[in-house]
Structure 1
Amino acid sequence: MLRHLLQLTWKRKSRNLMLSLEILLAFAIVFGIAAFGLRFWQLYREPIGFDGTDAWSAAMQFSDVPADAISPDTYDLLRRSLLELPEVRAVGFATHSPYTLSTWTTSFKSPQTGARVDTDTIEVSDDVAAALGVHLVAGRWFDATDEGRSELPAVLNRRMAAALFPGRPALGQRFTSAEDGPPRTYRVVGLVDAFRNKGPFMTPTNFVIARFAPHTSQSRVRTILLKVAPGTPRAFEAKLNQRLKAVRNDWSYEIAPLASMRASLLKEQLVPLAVVAVIAAFMLVMVAFGLFGVLWQNTTHRIPEIGLRRALGASAASIYRQIVFEQLLLCSLAIAAALVLLVQLPLTGALGETLNWQVFAGAVLLSMAVIYLLSLACSLYPGWRASRLAPAAALHYE
């Protein structure tokens, strides 16, 4: 039967060409949406490297004051003042807060090859690990014993450790900065599995966490990270702002719980996916109408053929199966052509990690299921209509 269906499909190749192209386009659309959604789901399930439960962020805003003009004692005064609040458990400082789109990109030199390795970087104080709940997989976090050392302590994620020290354990290794100015030497004191400060949908990157010490660091950070008691209400924001104003009344502060910052960022990042999904759904509906119309027209043109088959003894069920199987065969050929084109994306790495093989395989399976169901649904009524034709009426059709 398959050979017979292939012969019929080939003989009507000119008529089936536009239908095949329509199915191919629909498959590509569904594949794109499925790959986009699966990549989001894949990223969401990966670890981000910190907990963030019961953590708050307070961004210090002082546009008219240079960052390097902040006195080192100001940080100590802020920390001691905030720890006096009964709700506060830990206070740390960082260049930027998690769940924002802030990025600090820099380069370091590999000690083995001398090659530059680009990476995202953040500077944090010793108490940030307690404030955020950072998950170390090896080594230790920064502490007071690192003060005054010629080699600056650093915590790397696994990806950065593999890039700087391929095939070697990273703990205790040294690397240098590759930016303009005098080179600085760093020593790896700890490792994290990942650190994705932009949230669950951030693409994994190289990441270096450097130590910030107010009295020795060249930079000046502008974000306060706090660990508060469980169940602290949102009304704590006013109390926190009042305490910060008591230390520096000439600054303003943008205060928010990390939980609300995470929710806002996820909502913002999911908007493009929702918009694309709505557009894709509308296009699939249009494709379904097109497929149904073409199948209806093709069935009408084949009424004499169907009548002849019925007169020769073909059952209504066999006519029904023929119409449905022909459509599924045509759908399979269009999908095969689409796969030949789409498989080039992961093979060439054109989209990098965004379209890895897991995402590609999942998107292919989902797209095939959707297109086959769509084709089947569009062929059921034309097939039923053709099977209900009486042989005499079909043979007299003009």
Structure 2
Amino acid sequence: MIASMIRQMWNERKANVLILLELLVVFSCLLYAADYLYVKYKEYKQPLGFDISHVYKVWLGVVPETSADYDTTAVHTTNGMDDFFTIVDRLEKDSRVETVGYTSGNHFHYMYFNRFATFHGIKMQRYGFVRDVDPSYFRVFKVKTADGQSWEKLENALRNNQIVVTATVAERYFGKATEGRGKDIWITNQGDADSIVYHIGEVCEPQRYQEFSSYDYAYYRNLGGRDELKKYGIEILSGNINLFVRMKPSADKPELMQQFRKDMEQQLRLGNIYLSDVTPMSYYREEVLRSVLDNIRLYVVAVCFLLFNVLLGVVGTFWFRARQRIPEIGLRMAVGASRMVIFIQLIGEGLMLLAVVTLPAVLIYVNLGQLDVLTTTSMDLSMIDRLVHSFLIAFLTLAMMIVAGIVFPAKQAARLNPTEALKDE
């Protein structure tokens, strides 16, 4: 049967040229689209390096000095940061709270706030970020070490005045993530003229800000102990300190969180500090991802529109081919060919036409990759991996479209009475 299909395609080679060109263009476009969607899917599925489930941002406001509610007593003005740490302690003692932590205003997942840093090495430097955090940050966001251990080691490193670097830094500078532990690294921080040598106490898992961003070159250092932070006034709370709580899963329900917020309005009103809002981290995630996901949805809609038009073209083309070949089909049925054989041959010819354009479409895809036209990504995805997955997606999609376009006219042709099919001969 295969030999018969090949002969048939050769006999109709002039008519098949336009069909082959159409399939080549569509196959190439589908390869490009499949590559884009596959890369975005792989980016989305990569670990973030932190966990925001049950985590809330606690917004604290400061009563302005011009307000009639401003407390002028010395204990709430000169030592205003004592009130902040009292608030932290109150949150930690609440039975609904699992843990509490805070970071500088320059580190906020899904918000892209950071100070900059330059990591130095032999004949190499990379730009990254400085993240000033309280050691409890690793507990709140459940950050693991590069070898999968829990947050305790990361927390201890900061408490011992050492730094924690992301696995991205350690792998680049020391060859392996775990090899960075105990090493020294030179870093120039934003605004500093000279580099400083830092001792790496631990290496955390690779991190990024959101599902479609790259893994960051970054290091963590201790924001400072309570005694050190108390030298600042409470104005540091206005955009310079981020306070986070991780709720116990049993307490993280909408109705329970409403009650928690209501309770905290009273408990966290201390001196000139008051509770402004309690916002789930999922809110910031949704805000950041909305534009990216909207673009992907538009891309998918465009691809679906393309496929719909391809389906109409395939149905029309193969319907016309089947109608033209009615006398031939009748003759074959008259000499003993079964309806199933006729049906399979028509489907097979369509798939064989697709197979013919496979190699040229792949060559076009490879050349697009060489020209850096394909979707760029910071992930370590080989071109072979991308080609295999994109090819499978594009080939199977187009094959289903061809089969769907041929099935109806093929069935109609196979049901013809040989006498009716041969009456025009």
Q: Same fold (TM over 0.5)?
A: yes
- In structure 2, C-alpha distance between the alignment counterparts of 1:72 and 1:108, rounded to whole Å: 37
1:212-235 deviation line (CA, Å, top 9, x unaligned): 227489998342222344415322
Question: Which of 167, 174, 177 is the matching residue for 2:185?
Answer: 174
Q: Which runs of 5+ in 1 are unaligned?
A: 66-70, 147-152
Find out whether 1:47 has 2:47 as its counterpart.
Answer: yes
- In structure 2, C-alpha distance between the alignment counterparts of 1:97 and 1:105, rounded to whole Å: 8
Question: Which of 271, 294, 308 is the matching residue for 1:285?
Answer: 308
**One-letter amino acid of the counterpart of residue 79, structure 1:** F
- In structure 1, C-alpha distance between the alignment counterparts of 2:295 and 2:367, rounded to whole Å: 25
Are the aligned partners of 2:51 and 2:143 in contact in 1 as well (CA < 8 Å)? yes
> Aligned-pair distance for 1:55?
2.3
Instruction: List 4+ stretches of structure 1 deviating above 6 A.
Output: 216-220
Find out whether 1:275 has 2:298 as its counterpart.
Answer: yes
Which residue in 1 is equivalent to 2:72?
A: none
Equivalent positions of 1:68-217 (< 5 A) are: 77-85=83-91, 86-87=93-94, 88=97, 89-96=99-106, 98-104=108-114, 106-113=116-123, 115-137=124-146, 140-141=154-155, 142-146=157-161, 153-166=162-175, 169-171=179-181, 172-177=183-188, 179=190, 181-185=192-196, 186-198=198-210, 200-213=211-224, 215=228
Are the aligned partners of 1:23 and 1:335 in contact in 2 as well (CA < 8 Å)? no
- In structure 1, C-alpha distance between the alignment counterparts of 2:293 and 2:117, rounded to whole Å: 31
- In structure 1, C-alpha distance between the alignment counterparts of 2:186 and 2:121, rounded to whole Å: 6
> Aligned-pair distance for 1:288?
1.0
Find out whether 1:363 has 2:375 as its counterpart.
Answer: no
Which residue in 1 is equivalent to 2:57?
A: 57
Aligned in 2, Cα 1:207/1:348: closer, same or farther, shift over 3 Å?
A: farther
Which residue in 2 is equivalent to 1:300?
A: 323
- In structure 2, C-alpha distance between the alignment counterparts of 1:237 and 1:202, rounded to whole Å: 32
- In structure 2, C-alpha distance between the alignment counterparts of 1:318 and 1:396, rounded to whole Å: 22
- In structure 2, C-alpha distance between the alignment counterparts of 1:97 and 1:224, rounded to whole Å: 11
Are the aligned partners of 1:117 and 1:163 in contact in 2 as well (CA < 8 Å)? no
Are the aligned partners of 1:303 and 1:397 in contact in 2 as well (CA < 8 Å)? no
- In structure 1, C-alpha distance between the alignment counterparts of 2:169 and 2:58, rounded to whole Å: 29
Out of 293-302 and 179-188, give the one that drifted further: 179-188
Equivalent positions of 1:216-255 (< 5 A) are: 221-230=240-249, 231=251, 233-235=256-258, 236-240=260-264, 246-248=270-272, 253=276, 255=278
Which residue in 1 is equivalent to 2:279?
A: 256
- In structure 1, C-alpha distance between the alignment counterparts of 2:355 and 2:323, rounded to whole Å: 23
> Aligned-pair distance for 1:302?
2.5
Q: Secondary structure at the match of 2:180?
A: coil
> Aligned-pair distance for 1:268?
5.7
Are the aligned partners of 2:116 and 2:127 in contact in 1 as well (CA < 8 Å)? yes
Are the aligned partners of 1:90 and 1:226 in contact in 2 as well (CA < 8 Å)? yes
> Aligned-pair distance for 1:183?
2.1
- In structure 1, C-alpha distance between the alignment counterparts of 2:402 and 2:247, rounded to whole Å: 56
Out of 132-141 and 361-370, give the one that drifted further: 132-141
Out of 309-318 and 45-54, give the one that drifted further: 309-318
> Aligned-pair distance for 1:38?
3.7
> Aligned-pair distance for 1:294?
0.7
Out of 216-225 and 130-139, give the one that drifted further: 216-225
Are the aligned partners of 1:308 and 1:395 in contact in 2 as well (CA < 8 Å)? yes
Equivalent positions of 1:25-40 (< 5 A) are: 25-40=25-40
Which residue in 1 is equivalent to 2:399?
A: 372
1:109-158 deviation line (CA, Å, top 9, x unaligned): 32322x22022443222221222222123653344432xxxxxx432222
> Aligned-pair distance for 1:293?
0.6
- In structure 1, C-alpha distance between the alignment counterparts of 2:176 and 2:140, rounded to whole Å: 33
Q: How many residues align?
A: 383
Aligned in 2, Cα 1:228/1:306: closer, same or farther, shift over 3 Å?
A: closer
Equivalent positions of 1:330-369 (< 5 A) are: 330-344=353-367, 351-353=376-378, 356=382, 357-369=384-396
- In structure 2, C-alpha distance between the alignment counterparts of 1:105 and 1:395, rounded to whole Å: 82
RMSD: 3.8
Q: Secondary structure at the match of 1:372?
A: helix
Q: Secondary structure at the match of 2:257?
A: coil
1:257-304 deviation line (CA, Å, top 9, x unaligned): 224444555566433333332332233222112100111111222234
Output the TM-score relative to the length of structure 1: 0.79
Out of 40-49 and 284-293, give the one that drifted further: 40-49
Output the TM-score relative to the length of structure 2: 0.75
- In structure 1, C-alpha distance between the alignment counterparts of 2:389 and 2:368, rounded to whole Å: 14
- In structure 1, C-alpha distance between the alignment counterparts of 2:245 and 2:266, rounded to whole Å: 15
Out of 306-315 and 320-329, give the one that drifted further: 306-315
- In structure 1, C-alpha distance between the alignment counterparts of 2:30 and 2:78, rounded to whole Å: 55
- In structure 1, C-alpha distance between the alignment counterparts of 2:389 and 2:128, rounded to whole Å: 30
**One-letter amino acid of the counterpart of residue 154, structure 2:** R
Aligned in 2, Cα 1:96/1:241: closer, same or farther, shift over 3 Å?
A: farther
- In structure 2, C-alpha distance between the alignment counterparts of 1:192 and 1:93, rounded to whole Å: 17
Which residue in 1 is equivalent to 2:74?
A: none
**One-letter amino acid of the counterpart of residue 379, structure 1:** I
